[in-house]
């Protein structure tokens, strides 16, 4: 809306506006997932989240086991130093296998 005002230099036009709230739109997840495409999207998201969680648990387990094996190899190396090379080989083999399994997952 325009409003004309008179001042010493002549007429000026001033813009006067009002904020008119819009009607709220109803977009809910239940409406989205009611459709077949929405349902499939939800299933895919749940599968992906489960896959990610399994991969994280697998990595956590591999890290814990590698740490345990490394600690035992260190302890055994101090008790029986002649086996140090073999302990290290076993640790390397486990770590390599765990890494490959995680990459395949």
Q: What is the pLDDT of residues 48-81, one digit of tens each?
A: 999 999 999 999 999 999 999 999 999 999 999 9
Give the residue-averaged pLDDT of 21-38. 68
The pLDDT of residue 82 is: 97
Report yes or no on 101 lying in a domain.
yes
Give the count of domains, the chain: 1
> Quick one: pLDDT at residue 7?
56
Is residue 52 in some structural domain? no
Q: Domain for residue 67, yes or no? A: no
Query: Is 18 within a domain?
Result: no
Does 27 map to a domain?
no
Model confidence at 21, pLDDT cuts 50, 70, 90, reads low
pLDDT of residue 19: 66
Cα–Cα distance between 3 and 14 in angstroms, integer? 5
Domain that holds residue 103: 77-105
pLDDT digits 0-9 by tens, 89-99: 999 999 999 99
């Amino acid at each position: 809306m325009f409003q004309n005002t008179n001042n010493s230099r002549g007429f000026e036009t001033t813009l006067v506006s009002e904020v008119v709230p819009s009607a709220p739109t109803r977009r809910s997840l239940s409406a989205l997932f009611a459709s077949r495409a929405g349902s499939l999207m939800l299933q895919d998201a749940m599968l992906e989240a489960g896959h990610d969680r399994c991969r994280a648990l697998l990595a956590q387990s591999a890290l814990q086991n590698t740490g345990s094996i490394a600690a035992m190899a260190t302890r055994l190396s101090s008790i029986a130093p002649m086996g140090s090379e073999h302990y290290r080989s076993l640790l390397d083999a486990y770590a390599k296998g765990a890494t490959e399994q995680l990459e395949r997952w």
